[in-house]
A = this chain, B = another copy of it.
Amino acid sequence: MAQEKKLVEDITPMSVDFAQWYTDVVKKADLMRYSSVKGCMMILPNGYAIWENIQKNLDAMFKETGVTNVYMPMFIPESLLEREKDHVEGFAPECAWVTMGGGEELEERLVVRPTSETLFCELYSNIVQSYRDLPKLYNQWCSVVRWEKTTRPFLRSSEFLWQEGHTVHATAEEAQERTEMMLNVYADFCEKYLAIPMIKGRKTDKEKFAGAEATYTIEALMHDGKALQSGTSHNFGDGFARAFGIQFTDTDNTLKYVHQTSWGLSTRTIGALIMVHGDDSGLVLPPRIAPVQVMVVPIAQHKEGVLEKAQEIYETLKAQGISVQLDDSKKSPGWKFAEQEIKGIPLRVEIGPKDLENGQAVVVRRDTREKITVALAELTEQIPQIMEKMQQDMYDRALKHREEHTYDAHDYEEFKDIIANKPGFVRAMWCGDQACELKIKEDTTATSRCMPFKQEHIADTCVCCGRPAKTMVYWGKAY
């Protein structure tokens, strides 16, 4: 079957060229295409369906914490963006500017939102007057634009989809609590649905968000040993509130500034899914986030009763609430298998004449290719269990991979050696001086990923300068 072979051979093996493998999988699984708009993606049905599942589940988790959705304009007047100094400095270089509208030059040019802190500030400055109006817990699902010179599917593009939550609170404590709460929501979501274990921690000042007092992050390790920042949560203190005049009358009748947070997670997480779970045959999707969970494939479907039974299995699983497809096309079984594997559909149910005779079907797990013979009468009970097992196994494997690729460095020689030769996270102590961060990046291209909440004592001194250490930091090369 030359065609089948071709379908798989078109994917460059991971071990040969990881970057090419990634591009091939994205293309072969029909997740996205580039358009004639430089750096912008067309997200195709297979890719967008993953995002829809991310949205659905994450949005429900947001709402459980009291968050409601809104929609803000996609344009920000230049003067509004400039109101907070650090913020505009951070974003101005990546901005896309609208200068003409309705056939006329605009009096003030508009930036296509790179993020919407300034618009939310404008809104909050109008609708918050009293402590009774607090907190405000708003979120929006939208796309944002950050002009990029070099792009990679889902990981870096000039336009990408995300959600951005923006909250205002009466006290600093409450804002801090919300900042950490949303980071935990992200980590729980990624671990529970995407089967990706996360390191939770705080960014160094060098790596924090433009305008934030503190940025918190969840960091994941990809299959190639590079890190991927997968979601961030920021505490702004009252910096934006002062710049935008967001004040309220508190219970004690005095005027106070609100304390503010924002937090975002984007289509990057689709990149994480691919690079954590994928293999040389294509995508491998965790059952809880897979748009299609089961593909039923009839074998020798011209034989009596096969297609009918396949149809029956399809109907039964569908009625059970499982997302299932039946491939009754005239393609060969091998071709159908290859297609199902490339798309990362978690389970394949094979049913052929012999299976019919024996009253059974063969369930094949996408992650391990394990073949499980299941009596037809037990399919509805077994399939959810097999999916749950697969979900857990995928998480466990990703965790094991991360643990096996996390190294402790006690001095700078060891640090440099690990970065050069062992792809993964490096845990090492840091004095807190940005000069050391810069030197490490200069010497090794590795960056500080985060100061983890779970601190450990690896050495007394900074891995770079040898002065007394303050914090343990996760370092790594990153996407």
Contact = CB atoms under 8 A, between A and B. Distances in A.
Interface of A: 33, 35-37, 40-45, 48-49, 51-52, 68-77, 80, 92-103, 109-110, 112, 119, 122-123, 126-127, 138, 142-143, 145, 147-149, 158-159, 161
A110 B37 contact: yes
Contact of A93 (B43, B102, B119): B102
Contacts of A72: 35, 42-43
Nearest to A79: B36
Nearest to A46: B68
Nearest to A145: B74
Given A43-B71, A49-B68, A97-B98, 5 more contacts: A42-B70, A43-B72, A52-B69, A73-B159, A95-B101
Given A69-B52, A74-B74, A123-B33, A96 B103 contact: no
Contact of A33 (B94, B126, B138, B148): B126
Nearest to A104: B147
Contact of A74 (B69, B126, B143): B143
Nearest to A120: B42
Given A80-B36, A93-B103, A147-B101, A44 B70 contact: yes
Q: This chain: how many copies in the complex?
A: 2
Contacts of A142: 143
Give the interface SS of chain A, mostly helix, strand, loop or mixed: mixed
Contacts of A145: 74
A61 to B, nearest CB: 16
A106 to B, nearest CB: 9
B37 A73 contact: yes
A51 B40 CA distance: 27
Given A101-B97, A145-B74, A147-B102, A68 B40 contact: no
Contacts of A36: 77, 80, 122
A163 B74 CA distance: 16
Contacts of A71: 41-43, 48, 51, 143, 161
A143 B161 CA distance: 13
Q: Top 10 closest A-B pairs, CB basis?
A: A102-B147, A40-B73, A97-B100, A45-B68, A43-B71, A96-B101, A101-B147, A37-B73, A99-B99, A37-B75
A41 B122 CA distance: 13
Nearest to A51: B71
